[in-house]
Amino acid sequence: MSIGEEPRNEAQPRPSVHVSIDVPDLDAGLRFYGAVFGFVEVSRPFPTMAIVDANNATVCMHQKAAGSKPSLAGEDTRRYERHWTPVHLDLHVADFDAVLGRVLEQGGLIEQEFRKHGPKLAAFCSDPFGNGFCIIGER
């Protein structure tokens, strides 16, 4: 336990964490993330949702139309032009340059690279649907 940290209530189980990625076309999303990162579809509970094995995380990929509302509360709508959210994926990879090459080959963008800052290589990227993510690699 660190300084100032509250003891964890052992009686309360921690949740499992799954990541969701909304895309306008499920098959295109599966192709991109499969080709770039090796994500593998393990099930399709219904036609517009796939469960994807992302090695150490489960990803739920959802086909959602542009302009649809993510929630009844609020006015925001889904959009697939380039956007960023403070909650995003950081994907730690063994071969930084190879993954960046696959991002481009599959229609994604590399928006900014950091090769000399910090302890690890990093690149700000986006998929073909406008979702931002970071690639993190070893020096």
Question: Is the model more confident about 121 or about 56?
Answer: 121
Largest CA distance in the chain: 48
Q: What average pLDDT does the chain have?
A: 91
Give the integer Cα–Cα distance in Å for 108 and 126: 6
CB 139 within 8 A of CB 120: yes
Alpha carbon 43 to chain centroid, angstroms: 18
**Residue 2 pLDDT greater than 70, yes or no:** no
Which one is the CATH code of 18-67+81-137: 3.40.640.10, 3.40.50.300, 1.10.10.10, 3.10.180.10? 3.10.180.10
pLDDT in tens, 6-61: 666 667 788 888 899 999 999 999 999 999 999 999 999 999 999 999 988 999 99
Q: Where are the domains of the chain?
A: 18-67+81-137
How does residue 1 score in pLDDT terms, banded at 50, 70 and 90?
low
Q: What 3-state class would DSSP assign to 44?
A: strand
**Residue 102 pLDDT greater than 70, yes or no:** yes
